[in-house]
A and B are shown apart, each in its own frame.
Chain A
Amino acid sequence: MTDATGRRAGRVVIGTLGLDQHEVGAMAISQLLVRHGYEVVYLGRFNTPQRLVTVAAQEDADIVGVSVHSWEFVAYADELLARCGDLGIGLIFGGSVLTAQDRSDLLARGADAVFGPYASEDDMLRQIAAIVDRVRASPAEARAADACAADARATRESAAGPLSGRVFIVTGAARGLGRAYTRELCRQGAAVVANDVDEAELKEAASAVGDGPGRVHPVACDITDAQAPRVLLDAALRRYGQLHGLVSNAGLLRSGPILQLGDDDLRLVLDVHVTATFRLLRVIGGYWRAEAKAGRAVGAAVVLTTSAAGLYGFRAEAAYSAVKAAVAMLTQVAADELGRYQATVNAIAPAARTRLTGWLGDGPGGPDRDSWAPEHVAPVVAWLLGPAAREITGRVIEVGNGQISVPGSWRPGTAYPLPPLMSPAQARTLLPQVLASAGPLPGLLTPDTALSDRSGLPRPEQERPPAS
């Protein structure tokens, strides 16, 4: 973000220290700064000096601002002053318990400004602007050298990659696609809160990500638990301070014709694919809405998981096809709803060799030789979560087995006038006509057609991939 003169806006990291839970002052000053064109990196409660300053370094912030409502600041002030001094960034204290004596003490020890209760806004803004100027005027090389000395440097280096500094939740991350997504997001520098119901497998998957520039924080819980979205959101916020995106990937399959699939299986399929996804959108969307309303929209992105089964139907998989169709439509409506909070919502219809596609059989082993390997899908998900896809929302992307495409969606058919209180005779004439105008019904997928490039399915000419 830059101002009218093209200068980058002042950037301030704000939080409270230790167990000082009185956050209202920090929130109020953050809103004030945002209104006046600053970028605020809001860290909320329960910070240590190390956390505040590490984030400030990583964010290239100009100032650390600490809101003080308990005497704990006394215990942390020296460390905070030293760390900010090392980095050459500004340090401000503000809060109701700060006395005139505190003010002179802290200023003497190197704080840039100290604001007591009901400090004048004009005065605060003037001083903060001056501190930003001073910090930026200090030699960049010297600041960089200082930063190298601090542990911030390690953090910054480790955060290299197109998704560096972004935080995502991936559900169903222990195996298959979710595991491939987690690995790819980390490879591109993101921090991932990886979720799965299988704790052992999840931990193994998290440790297997290795030393990539990103990081993984495994959180095992059942995504159908009503608390799960909150638990995952809290984990992201507590561990990484923010959440930029969600990949709702957890899935399972209960196969069977309608006449055989029992209630328990039906409920489970609905819960995992529809209810859990809906809840994730509600809880995490609610958080992004709050952020946007507070002037801190994060530019978030959601990737949901539908399936060719949900788009075209799959023989003898009515439940699975129905829930995946639900997710496809959820994607469109959620995109509209969350768009106002600067969040995009897209879905992926992956074709990959996972536990859900056991009928594919074993692959040749390794993504190099297997076009059905989940690793081929992961870069598409990473792209949808990244800066290049900010304008893309409400879309389904079908990807896997060496192909990628964007399927069309339901469109209105040719409209005929509806006779009022139509007689049976009129219906006999009209309805065959209307149905004929819709053309033939596309066939359902079967294991055979799904394995092919689906050339048996009607596909409008203009949506064919360009020949390469």
Chain B
Amino acid sequence: MTGFRSAAGIPLQPFYAPADKALDYSAIGDPGTYPFTRGRLRPPHAGSGGWIQRELSGEGSPRRSNEQFRSLLAHGALGIDVIGDNPTMSALDPDHPMCVPAVGTTGVSLCRKRDFIELLADIPLDRITLSHSLPPAFAIAGQYLAARDSGLDPAVLRGSAIQPPLYSEDCSYSTFLPFGIRMRLTLDSIAFSLREMPRFHAFLEDTYYISDGGLNVVEEMSLGLLEIREVCRRLIARGLPVDSFAPRIAILVNCRMDLFEEIAKIRATRRLFARMMREEFGAADPRSWSANIAVHSSGLALTAAQPANNIVRGAVQALAMAMAGVQGLEISTFDEPFRTPSDIAHQLAIRTQQIIQAETNVSAVQDPLGGSWYLESLTDELESRIDTAVRQMEKLGDAGTLVESGYFRDIFTNAMDRHSSAVQQGEMRIVGVTEHVVPPEADRFLRDVAEVRFEPDYAHVERILSWRRRRADGPLRASLDRVRAASANPDADLMAPIVAALDADATIGEITGCLREGQGLPSDPFEFAAQSPVAEARR
């Protein structure tokens, strides 16, 4: 095989000419018009383009993370993206014995109402968007209670919460809950948000976290669209009109280093989403057709070798995404291979976005690459490949069964193996890794920042332990009983009892334990670890 291929394996020609791509402009359309290839519907008051500039944040206790938010906003960030530490992402409390060594080291520790209040203290929630990379029901409940506590009407809240019912267990966001409960949490939290926080995107389809283990763009977007379709069908089956929730769907995608393929992916996704919503789900409101897409640039594309090179990678990815016309952007910072972002890395990433926005004039014209024979050809090809992949997966059976059968887990496992092999065999070129490697003594620049570590936040663990002992017992217990009962009843709403329990000072770990108990499972997912394991596990 000679000739180049895209990262997803699409054969590429040396150059593209009119004969290769007869442009049918009616199938492309103007920006802001169906099928939205060239950009989404813009509200009439929108200015001259631009996107929400934000960076992944959250570190240590809620108070420390709050300081981080303020620092980012002071640097000019226009939104906040918050991620929990490993215990929080697992819906476990920081004082659980398995959790203590991980408290606050990879994100913020959150387990109770007061944590959300401290996290968001004096953050202008009525003016900025808050994107949650947290277990969604708790993220929405926490933000709702924090807003209410500060006297803010939850109806003004904007932002998003990732909904990962199909893939979380296989992609590092395990909350140890069965599929049925994960799906109910998704549907109930979306319904709650539509009622209480109508400007909030409670259905953020996050294809970043599922794809950054080596998936290609076709795998990424087909899995993403599959999950969107599954959740949409279930929302409709509950009696929600598609136009009541579709405008509140957003997608957070990955951006790797094959820039044209990534731009084409976003254009193809906008078109696929528009067609799906209008033609399959029967949406009539143009806001339902127009996909809201934000991007998190790939952490896998970054290297621990020569970390300063990552600043360049982040910049070219951000430039490509600006040209793709995304609504929000987070750059994986140069120290990502080592840690959650340091202060200086945060500042550099925000400055990168600001330079692209303010100095390059790149967002003055929408879809500046539209009409390129190459890009339009790639967009069509990706649209077709993604669509085919979705249909093939839907033919295999219902999504819940595919989850149970390990079908998706196979995809994720094979992707990382494929990525490693491609790098080892030199098929994938990475500067500083497969070529232009320097000896360790010559690779010191920025390591003093990137390699700095901090201790788990033991003080926060102590704070939670002493607070737990002083809580009022009665209302707390009754509220947890209601969570358990709701979990056991497949027709019950989970969100109201969860919000009430969090409000009554129950912790996320306790509430999740009751969700498990309602399903006949042990409250503590590590019950097995407390006892002597007899694990014969030849594989």
B534 to A21, Cβ gap below 8 A? no
A24 to B416, Cβ gap below 8 A? yes
Q: Mark B78-95, 1 if CB is under 8 A from A, else 0.
A: 000000001101101000
Q: A58 at interface (Cβ–Cβ under 8 A)?
A: yes
A240 to B534, Cβ gap below 8 A? yes
Which residue of the partner chain A has the closest CB to B416?
Answer: A24
Q: Mark A152-196, 1 if CB is under 8 A from B, else 0.
A: 000100110000111100000000000000000000000100000
Main secondary structure of the interface of A (DSSP, over half): mixed
Cα–Cα distance between A167 and B101 once the two chains are bound (Å): 31
Q: A355 at interface (Cβ–Cβ under 8 A)?
A: no
CB-based closest 5 A-B pairs: A286-B405, A296-B539, A241-B535, A241-B537, A75-B101
Which of the candidate stretches A112-120, A132-140, A369-377 sits at the interface with the other chain? A112-120
Q: Mark A57-98, 1 if CB is under 8 A from B, else 0.
A: 011000000000011101110000000000000000000110
| Beyond A23-B172, A239-B535, A287-B406, 8 extra complex contacts between A and B, CB < 8 Å | A40-B539, A46-B525, A55-B535, A99-B447, A117-B304, A234-B178, A240-B533, A242-B539
Q: B538 at interface (Cβ–Cβ under 8 A)?
A: yes
A18 to B86, Cβ gap below 8 A? yes
Q: B489 at interface (Cβ–Cβ under 8 A)?
A: no
Q: B462 at interface (Cβ–Cβ under 8 A)?
A: no
Q: Mark B396-417, 1 if CB is under 8 A from A, else 0.
A: 0000110011110110110111
Task: List residues 167-185 of chain B with CB under 8 A from any CB of chain A.
Answer: 172-174, 178-180
Q: Contacts A27-B417, A290-B410 given: A43-B535 contact, CB under 8 Å?
A: yes
A59 to B538, Cβ gap below 8 A? yes
A294 to B539, Cβ gap below 8 A? yes
Q: B528 at interface (Cβ–Cβ under 8 A)?
A: yes
Cα–Cα distance between A227 and B453 once the two chains are bound (Å): 42
Q: A45 at interface (Cβ–Cβ under 8 A)?
A: yes
What's the minimum C-beta distance from A291 to chain B, rounded to whole angstroms? 6
In-complex Cβ contact of B179 among A22, A97, A220, A230 (8 A): A230
A155 to B534, Cβ gap below 8 A? yes
Q: A283 at interface (Cβ–Cβ under 8 A)?
A: yes
Give the chain B neighbours of A324 by CB distance below 8 A.
Answer: none
What's the minimum C-beta distance from A351 to chain B, rounded to whole angstroms? 33
Q: Contacts A45-B174, A221-B520, A290-B406 given: A39-B535 contact, CB under 8 Å?
A: no
What's the minimum C-beta distance from B328 to chain A, rounded to whole angstroms? 24
Cα–Cα distance between A282 and B401 once the two chains are bound (Å): 9
Q: B420 at interface (Cβ–Cβ under 8 A)?
A: yes
* Chain A residue total in the interface (Cβ 8 A): 80
Give the chain A neighbours of B423 by CB distance below 8 A.
Answer: 118
Q: B500 at interface (Cβ–Cβ under 8 A)?
A: no
Cα–Cα distance between A93 and B532 once the two chains are bound (Å): 24
In-complex Cβ contact of A18 among B98, B401, B420, B430 (8 A): B98
Cα–Cα distance between A58 and B172 once the two chains are bound (Å): 28
Cα–Cα distance between A116 and B404 once the two chains are bound (Å): 33
Cα–Cα distance between A121 and B227 once the two chains are bound (Å): 35
What's the minimum C-beta distance from B111 to chain A, rounded to whole angstroms? 14
Q: A344 at interface (Cβ–Cβ under 8 A)?
A: no
Which residue of the partner chain B has the closest CB to A215?
Answer: B534
Which of the candidate stretches A28-36, A330-338, A423-431, A457-465 sits at the interface with the other chain? A28-36
Q: List 24 A-B contacts (CB under 8 A).
A: A19-B102, A23-B172, A27-B416, A28-B416, A28-B419, A41-B539, A46-B525, A46-B526, A55-B537, A71-B106, A76-B101, A97-B338, A116-B304, A118-B303, A118-B430, A121-B424, A167-B536, A231-B178, A239-B528, A240-B533, A240-B535, A241-B533, A242-B536, A282-B405
Give the chain A neighbours of B87 by CB distance below 8 A.
Answer: 19
Q: B44 at interface (Cβ–Cβ under 8 A)?
A: no
Give the chain A neighbours of B456 by CB distance below 8 A.
Answer: 71, 75
B86 to A191, Cβ gap below 8 A? no
Which chain B residues have a beta carbon within 8 Å of chain A's beta carbons?
86-87, 89-90, 92, 98-102, 105-106, 172-174, 178-180, 213-214, 303-305, 337-339, 400-401, 404-407, 409-410, 412-413, 415-417, 419-420, 423-424, 430, 433, 440, 447, 451, 453, 456, 519-521, 525-526, 528-529, 532-539
A155 to B532, Cβ gap below 8 A? yes
Cα–Cα distance between A386 and B535 once the two chains are bound (Å): 18
Q: Contacts A24-B213, A40-B539, A96-B304 given: A239-B533 contact, CB under 8 Å?
A: yes
A159 to B304, Cβ gap below 8 A? no
What's the minimum C-beta distance from A97 to chain B, rounded to whole angstroms? 6
Q: A144 at interface (Cβ–Cβ under 8 A)?
A: no
B538 to A298, Cβ gap below 8 A? yes
Q: A248 at interface (Cβ–Cβ under 8 A)?
A: no
B533 to A19, Cβ gap below 8 A? no
Q: Contacts A21-B89, A151-B532, A220-B520 given: A100-B440 contact, CB under 8 Å?
A: yes
Q: Mark A431-444, 1 if CB is under 8 A from B, else 0.
A: 00000000000000
Cα–Cα distance between A158 and B172 once the two chains are bound (Å): 34
Cα–Cα distance between A172 and B420 once the two chains are bound (Å): 45
What's the minimum C-beta distance from A26 to chain B, rounded to whole angstroms? 9
A22 to B102, Cβ gap below 8 A? no
Give the chain B neighbours of A244 by CB distance below 8 A.
Answer: 536
A51 to B539, Cβ gap below 8 A? no
Q: Contacts A28-B416, A71-B453, A242-B537 given: A18-B101 contact, CB under 8 Å?
A: yes
Cα–Cα distance between A59 and B537 once the two chains are bound (Å): 8
B98 to A19, Cβ gap below 8 A? yes
Which residue of the partner chain A has the closest CB to B453?
Answer: A71
Give the chain A neighbours of B416 by CB distance below 8 A.
Answer: 24-25, 27-28
B86 to A70, Cβ gap below 8 A? yes
